[in-house]
Amino acid sequence: MNKKTTTHTTIDINFDKEHIWHPYTSMTNPLPCYPVKSAEGVYIELEDGTKLIDGMSSWWSVIHGYNNEHINEAISSQLKKMSHVMFGGLTHEPAVNLAKHLVELTPDGLNKVFLADSGSVSIEVALKMAIQYQLGKGHIGRNRFIALKHGYHGDTFGAMAVCDPLNSMHSLYSGMMPQNYFIDSPTSKPTDSFQHNELAELADVLECRSDTVAALIIEPIVQGAGGMRFYHPDYLSGAKKLCEKYGVLLIADEIATGFGRTGKMFACEHANITPDILCVGKAITGGYMTLAAAICTDEVAITLSNSRAGVLMHGPTFMGNPLACAAANASMELLKAGTWENQVKNINRILNQELNSANQLERVTEARVFGAIGVIEMKEAVDVASIQKQFVDKGIWVRPFGKLIYVMPPYIISEIELTELLQKMLLVVKSL
């Protein structure tokens, strides 16, 4: 192992390469990483001074832009009071205020808030809630889940077990993977007319297996990391009705879609449904630090609490971290100020205007837009390292995976910045 530290830059990129795992990479053949010095607004500044327009919002999270004054202030002022105290037996204003915001902003009926430390953990909590709810109902064998192909719900074992089995390579962990039911994901697009037979498979699984099923888990309207697919709201409302008929809970995973990204505060609103459990994360702190929540109905919370265990069996060390809650409260205040709705509308308009032309390209399967999300799906998987370098050379930050080149920029991006981002992205796509 090469332990020499070379110092061409202040960030020791060689040490990074030798010693640090990055997301989904190899330690022997890692993808290149670009050293970042700072970030401001929609710009990420690299060590060498290169400024990149950010198309990713750091994986859906930085909705108000980097170095946001209001969130900065909320964190510094909380820092002077306390950074953290345990949540067992203690509580504090930042957590109470955050729960108030969440109960108010989420669909009616979601009233009981569990604060978790990451999206995946909130999914684990939601799965446990559903199983414990069924126990409270006296249903002993209802401990499996129905999930959609192309779904993504996180990387911990419980979450992974409801992700698309191929994408998340269930085969690597055989023996450790709970056996869940996977159904085809809907294909009617939000703008198509809905094909009712798309609900037939779900109806079938429920009819045959509901005595073994605790919940259906689903990403409302937008399937994110499992394929960036957009589907018809009638599928979601139909699925909700079917779940009710069979006593199966609906868990809505809005970790990616929550807080305005799809044009509604929550994507469930496109279908006018209240799920039994809602998971939020990513943008909740405006991308400042890790925090998530699983929010459930009174019915779920009360039934669970009257069950055999009598308590929800989860309690992370950093549950309700005051700094993270303070950041989230500041982000909620910015959302409540209300400009996000027009910002998302404008982003949507410009995405439609700029990305449509990609549909004519030979190597492109489809360009599609929903809310403030723009996707170009290629026919073949792209070479991430090489395409990433071309993007960086042009001054934009876009990180594709597989066949998908996509953007979900910070809401504060200006028309000029977004147009520049998309035109440069298209130049690279056209050159492929």
Ligand X SMILES: *Cc1c(COP(=O)(O)O)cnc(C)c1O
Tell me which residues are annotated as active site: 24, 152, 253, 282
Give whole-number Cα distances, 195 to 130, 203, 234, 240, in Å. Answer: 29, 14, 9, 16
Structure tokens at 188: 């009617």
In whole angstroms, the minimum distance from the beta carbon of 331 to ligand X comes to 15
Among candidate residues 117, 89, 84, 58, the one with its CA nearest the CA of residue 293: 117
Q: CA-to-CA distance for 301 and 125, rounded, in angstroms?
A: 12
82: Cβ contacts below 8 Å, ≥ 6 apart: 92, 322
Among candidate residues 283, 287, 286, 267, the one with its CA nearest the CA of residue 275: 267
Q: Which is nearer to ligand X, 127 or 378 (CB)?
A: 127
Measured in whole angstroms, how far is the alpha carbon of residue 323 from the centre of its chain?
Answer: 21
Q: Are 320 and 357 in contact (CB under 8 A)?
A: no
In whole angstroms, the minimum distance from the beta carbon of 21 to ligand X comes to 15
Q: Give SS3 for 376.
A: strand
The residue count of the chain comes to 432
Q: Which is nearer to ligand X, 71 or 225 (CB)?
A: 225
Q: Which is nearer to ligand X, 68 or 120 (CB)?
A: 120
Q: Which is nearer to ligand X, 135 or 277 (CB)?
A: 277
Q: CA-to-CA distance for 385 and 33, rounded, in angstroms?
A: 9
- Other Cβ atoms less than 10 A from the Cβ of 58: the count is 17
- Residue 74 phi/psi, 5° resolution? -60, -40
- Other Cβ atoms less than 10 A from the Cβ of 5: the count is 9
In whole angstroms, the minimum distance from the beta carbon of 119 to ligand X comes to 2
Q: Which is nearer to ligand X, 270 or 282 (CB)?
A: 282
Q: Which is nearer to ligand X, 110 or 291 (CB)?
A: 291
Instruction: Say which DSSP state 178 is in.
Output: -
Give whole-number Cα distances, 17 to 5, 14, 26, 167, 392, in Å. Answer: 11, 5, 10, 25, 19
Chain residues in the site for ligand X (CB under 6 A): 118-120, 123, 152-154, 219, 224-225, 253, 255-256, 281-282
Quick one: CA torsion of 92, 94, 97, 99, rounded to 10 degrees?
A: -80
Q: CA-to-CA distance for 351 and 92, rounded, in angstroms?
A: 42
Q: Which is nearer to ligand X, 125 or 422 (CB)?
A: 125
Q: Tokens 């499996």 sit at which residue?
A: 144
Helices 200-209, 233-246: axis angle to 10 degrees equals 20
Q: CA-to-CA distance for 430 and 362, rounded, in angstroms?
A: 9
Q: Which is nearer to ligand X, 41 or 226 (CB)?
A: 226
In whole angstroms, the minimum distance from the beta carbon of 159 to ligand X comes to 6
- Residue 321 phi/psi, 5° resolution? -50, 120
In whole angstroms, the minimum distance from the beta carbon of 56 to ligand X comes to 12
